[in-house]
């Protein structure tokens, strides 16, 4: 698009009542963390394909994450997963991130990879195993303090495979007990994000199966506990944007794990085949951000921790992350182009087709030129994919060879 065409786009948006300067500022404020584990080798239960150039330790994962930020301008933090990212000196990890222009994001405890957790971690009927898992959660609070992170992001693989295997209600209470212990340990400016998933790795039941259970838990714990929505953790056809709106209204939406899925928890590039779904989620968020009648909802929306949770098993990691960040930026921008006043009017008049059109119209605009302009203003790359390709970084890391660190 030439400058002239861009000027026309600006005119067009102005005529629709959209303040493009405001939209630009909103895009500049959008930060999406990358997951350190998304830079490591990963695969399916059938095969992990080793790639050349995979980071050999958490420090190199941070270096790769910094590349994503360098070119997109919107990914200034990397989430870590413990023990995958266990290091002797967490302050050194924090400084390494700072030296590369990013920070450490959410700290994710891992209580699903130890043999002891075969029958559950914080829901295990053995008190010694529950204590071991809870102690690890507390260890992660200490790590968060060292790396200056304000979020503990929790996901539990706990569940059962067969009817009668365990007592659902007891497990529910054990989970509450453990999470309360963690909650009590959080500093005032920290929060915990509770992620749910209705399947996998357990096949019969999962202890935190859906947003309602996570919401109930977060409510019981208190204001420092919020719900995290991973877009890959719902049954097919679940209306995720409705869940998002509900949690926003309850002021309990804390974070996102973005990815896209076709069948299960596929962890693919976000919006690779569900762009419209991500747009509709973003639309709910932008509507809350702009809600003058409900400042608390606007505050909640403005305080969401956005993260990618992706495990690319056949594609190169860094450009896949860059593509994901671009897709999130793209769909958030489109959501910002919805004329909310017109939408309200259409809803008040109960004009179904008009309301649908107001939302769809925004989705159909090409916002690439706008995003190029914004990235330029931010000092990032107008075309991040090309800039990364041209940078030579992908070739430079080949010397790391195959066989990188644990995810
Ligand atoms: C589980 O499927 C999950 O979404 C959780 O966020 C984990 O921490 C992450 O994937 C990595 O396994
Ligand atoms: Mn997740």
Does residue 199 have a pLDDT over 70?
A: yes
pLDDT value at position 6? 83
Mean pLDDT for the stretch of residues 80-91: 98
Give phi and psi for 273, each to the nearest 5. -135, 15
The helix/strand/coil state of 214 is: helix
> Which domains does the chain show, CATH number per domain?
30-337 (3.20.20.150)
For 124-147, the pLDDT digits (tens) are 999 999 999 999 999 999 999 999
The residue whose CA is least distant from atom 3 of ligand 1 is: 155
User: Average pLDDT of the chain?
Assistant: 97
Does residue 183 have a pLDDT over 60?
A: yes
Does residue 86 have a pLDDT over 80?
A: yes
Give phi and psi for 325, each to the nearest 5. -65, -40
Helix/strand/coil (H, E, C) string of 4-56? Answer: HHHHHHHHHHHHCCCCHHHHHHHHHCCCEEEEHHHHCCCECCCCECCCCCCCC
Neighbours of 225 (CB within 10 A): 25
pLDDT value at position 99? 98
Q: How confident is the model at residue 401 (pLDDT cuts 50, 70, 90)?
A: confident
Mean pLDDT for the stretch of residues 55-60: 97
The residue whose CA is least distant from atom 1 of ligand 1 is: 155
pLDDT value at position 5? 78
Measured distance CA(58)–CA(404) in Å, rounded = 10
Measured distance CA(5)–CA(106) in Å, rounded = 41
Distance between Cα 153 and ligand 2 center (Å): 9
Quote the crossing angle between the two packed helices 275-289 and 340-348, to the nearest 10°: 90
Does residue 405 have a pLDDT over 90?
A: no
Distance between Cα 310 and ligand 2 center (Å): 8
Say if CB 39 and CB 58 are below 8 A apart.
no
Handedness of CA 315, 319, 320, 323 (dihedral sign): negative
Give the CA distances from residue 309 to residues 167, 198, 231, in Å, rounded to whole numbers and listed in that order.
31, 17, 9
Measured distance CA(21)–CA(82) in Å, rounded = 41
pLDDT value at position 1? 57
Mean pLDDT for the stretch of residues 284-307: 98
Distance between Cα 153 and ligand 1 center (Å): 10
Alpha-carbon Rg for the chain, nearest whole angstrom, is: 21
Does residue 397 have a pLDDT over 80?
A: yes
Handedness of CA 391, 395, 399, 404 (dihedral sign): positive
Does residue 100 have a pLDDT over 70?
A: yes
Say if CB 314 and CB 264 are below 8 A apart.
no
Does residue 162 have a pLDDT over 80?
A: yes
Q: What tokens appear for 212 in the block?
A: 């309602």
Residue 81, strand partner residues: 108
pLDDT above 90: percentage of residues in the chain: 95
Q: What tokens appear for 127 in the block?
A: 């008190």
Indicate whether residue 257 lines ligand 1 (CB < 6 A): yes
Mean pLDDT for the stretch of residues 308-316: 95
Does residue 159 have a pLDDT over 80?
A: yes
Mean pLDDT for the stretch of residues 178-197: 98
194/6: higher pLDDT: 194
Say if CB 369 and CB 333 are below 8 A apart.
no
Residue 230 alpha carbon, nearest atom of ligand 1 = 4
For 351-387, the pLDDT digits (tens) are 999 999 999 999 999 999 999 999 999 999 999 999 9
Give the CA distances from residue 130 to residues 111, 156, 373, 394, in Å, rounded to whole numbers and listed in that order.
10, 12, 52, 43
Q: How confident is the model at residue 102 (pLDDT cuts 50, 70, 90)?
A: very high
């Amino acid at each position: 698009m030439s400058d002239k065409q861009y000027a026309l786009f600006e005119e067009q948006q102005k005529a629709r009542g959209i303040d493009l300067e405001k939209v630009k500022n909103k895009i500049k404020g959008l930060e999406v963390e990358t997951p350190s584990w998304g830079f490591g080798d990963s695969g399916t239960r059938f095969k992990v394909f080793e790639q050349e150039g995979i980071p050999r330790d958490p420090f190199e994962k941070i270096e790769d994450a910094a590349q994503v930020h360098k070119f997109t301008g919107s990914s200034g933090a990397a989430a870590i997963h413990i023990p995958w990212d266990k290091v002797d000196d967490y302050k050194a990890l924090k400084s390494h991130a700072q030296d590369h222009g990013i920070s450490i994001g959410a700290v994710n405890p891992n209580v699903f990879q130890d043999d002891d957790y075969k029958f559950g971690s914080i829901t295990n009927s053995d008190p010694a195993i529950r204590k071991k898992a809870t102690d690890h959660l507390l260890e992660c609070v200490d790590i968060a303090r060292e790396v200056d992170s304000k979020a503990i992001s929790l996901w539990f693989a706990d569940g059962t495979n067969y009817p009668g295997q365990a007592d659902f209600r007891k497990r529910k209470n054990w989970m509450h007990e453990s999470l309360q212990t963690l909650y009590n340990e959080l500093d005032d400016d920290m929060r915990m994000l509770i992620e749910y998933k209705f399947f996998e790795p357990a096949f019969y039941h999962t202890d935190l199966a859906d947003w309602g259970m996570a919401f109930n838990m977060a409510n019981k714990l208190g204001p420092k506990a919020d719900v995290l929505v991973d877009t890959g953790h719902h049954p097919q056809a679940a209306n995720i944007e409705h869940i998002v709106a509900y949690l926003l209204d309850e002021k309990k939406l804390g974070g996102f794990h973005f990815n896209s899925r076709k069948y299960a928890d596929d962890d693919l590039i976000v919006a690779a085949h569900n762009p419209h779904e991500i747009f509709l989620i973003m639309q709910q968020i932008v509507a809350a951000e702009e809600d003058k009648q409900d400042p608390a909802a606007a505050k909640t929306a403005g305080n969401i921790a956005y993260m990618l949770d992706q495990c690319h098993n056949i594609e190169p990691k860094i450009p896949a992350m860059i593509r994901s960040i671009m897709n999130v930026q793209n769909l958030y921008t489109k959501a910002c182009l919805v004329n909310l006043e017109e939408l309200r009017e259409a809803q008040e008049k109960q004009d179904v087709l008009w309301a649908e059109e107001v939302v769809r119209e925004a989705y159909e605009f090409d916002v690439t030129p706008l995003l190029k302009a914004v990235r330029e203003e931010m000092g990032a790359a107008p075309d991040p994919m090309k800039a990364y390709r041209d940078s030579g970084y992908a070739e430079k890391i080949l010397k790391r060879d195959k066989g990188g660190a644990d995810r």
